[in-house]
Amino acid sequence: MLFQFTAPPLPHYIICGEDTYQEGHQHPNRFNIGVFDLILVTRGVLYLEESGAPYRVSAGCYLILRPDAAHRTFLPCQEETHFYWLHFQTLGQWIEAEEITPFALSQSEQPYVHIENFTFYIPKYGQLSSGEQAELFIEQLQLLEQSLSSAARWKQQQVLQELLLLLQAEEQGIQKRQNPHYVIAERTANYLRKHYNEPMSYGRLSDAMHFHQNYLSICMKKTFGCTPLEFLTRHRIEQAKQMLIHTNDPIGHIAEEAGFGSFPYFIRCFSRYTGLKPKSFRQKYRSP
C-alpha cells in the first residue's frame, strides 16, 4: 500500500519524539488524530492494526498511520520495544493506493507563476535498508525542538523532506524491481522536457529510450495519463506561454522556439489547451 502525495504544497513537519515500552505494554488506541503518524521501530516489535489490517512493525521497520482512520494494538509488546514517532500533515491532496496511478498534468491558470504539480509515493509500511540514516534524521529533528528560533523551525521542514526522500528512495528501488513502467515513463518525460524544442517523432523517441513506441505509450499512460507526444505538446505550450508573456518576440518565432514546426498547428494546439489564441493570450497578460 502506498501514500500518493500531490505537491505543491509539500507535507509539513509538526512534532516528533521517542518511547520505550516494556514487555506487556502497548501503543494507545486512537481514532482520527488529524495527522500522519510515522512510527520507526529500532528495538523489539509493535503489533498495530489500522482499519482491520494488522502490521508487525519490528526493528528496522516503519509504519505510517492515516490521519483519518482508527488504529489499535492487537498484541502487547513481547519484549522491550523502542521506537521513534513523527507527526506530519499536508494541505495538499493525498490518497492511499495499491499501486502507482496516473495523475493529471497541471495546466496553470496563473501564467506568470508556472507551477507544475507533481506526485510522489511513500510506502505505508516497509523495512528500511538505511534505517540508521532515518534515525539520524529524527534525532536531528529532536535536537531542533530545543531551539525556539524560526530558523530551527525552517530547518525542521527541510529535514522532514530529506526523510521523506529517503522513504521514497526505498519505494523507487521497489518500483525498479516490480514496476518498470514507472521508471521508463520518468526517463521518457525527462528526455522530452530536455529536447522539447527539437523535432520529435516516435521513431526518435524509441531510438533514444531503446524501447518500442507502443511500450513507451503504455508506460506514459500508466504514469502520466497521456501519450508521450501529448505530454510533449503540453510542455511546449507551457514554454510558449512564458515566452508570450516575458518577451516581445513575434508569435511565429515563439512557435518555432517552442518546438512547433508549423505555425497553424501551433495556433490550433495553443487554442485547444488554453482556450485563447496566442495573440489574445499575450494581450490578456501584458500591459499596453
pLDDT digits (tens, 9 = 90+) for 34-76: 999 999 999 999 999 998 899 999 999 999 999 999 999 999 9
Are 155 and 227 contained in the same domain?
Answer: no
Which structural domain, as residue segments, surrounds residue 54? 2-176
The conformation of residue 66, written as its DSSP 8-state character, comes to -
Are 162 and 185 contained in the same domain?
Answer: no
pLDDT of residue 283: 87
Identify the CA nearest to 44 among candidates 88, 85, 77.
77
Are 165 and 90 contained in the same domain?
Answer: yes
The conformation of residue 98, written as its DSSP 8-state character, comes to S
- At which of 123, 158, 176 does a domain end? 176
Are 220 and 202 contained in the same domain?
Answer: yes
Are 255 and 125 contained in the same domain?
Answer: no
Q: What average pLDDT is seen over the chain?
A: 88
Are 20 and 84 contained in the same domain?
Answer: yes
The per-type count for the chain, helices as H runs and strands as E runs, is 9, 12
pTM of the shown model: 0.66
Are 185 and 150 contained in the same domain?
Answer: no
Identify the CA nearest to 285 among candidates 236, 241, 234.
241
- Cα angle for residues 8, 39, 150 (degrees, 5° grid): 50
pLDDT digits (tens, 9 = 90+) for 141-165: 999 999 889 999 999 999 999 999 9
Report how far Cα 71 is from the mean position of its chain's Cα atoms: 25
pLDDT of residue 178: 55
Identify the CA nearest to 187 among candidates 171, 175, 174.
175
8 A C-beta contact, residue 33 and residue 71: no
Q: How many CB atoms lie within 10 A of CB 30?
A: 12
- At which of 176, 204, 229 does a domain end? 176
pLDDT of residue 181: 82
How far, in Å, CA of 273 to CA of 260, rounded?
Answer: 14
Q: What is the mean pLDDT of residues 72-82?
A: 95
How far, in Å, CA of 71 to CA of 88, rounded?
Answer: 17
In sequence order, which residues have a C-beta less than 8 Å from that of residue 140 and are 6 or more positions away? 159
How far, in Å, CA of 166 to CA of 275, rounded?
Answer: 41
How many domains would you assign to the chain? 2
Tell me the CB-side half-sphere exposure of residue 5, using CA atoms within 13 A: 23
Tell me the CB-side half-sphere exposure of residue 23, using CA atoms within 13 A: 2
Residue type, 151: A
How many residues can be counted in the chain?
288
Are 251 and 145 contained in the same domain?
Answer: no
What is the CATH classification number for the domain harbouring 281? 1.10.10.60
Are 172 and 185 contained in the same domain?
Answer: no
Q: What are phi and psi of 145, to 5 degrees?
A: -60, -25
Cell numbers for 147, please give them: 531551539
8 A C-beta contact, residue 164 and residue 101: no
Are 135 and 197 contained in the same domain?
Answer: no
Output 181 or 111, whichever has higher pLDDT: 181
Percent of the chain exceeding pLDDT 70 equals 90
- At which of 131, 160, 176 does a domain end? 176
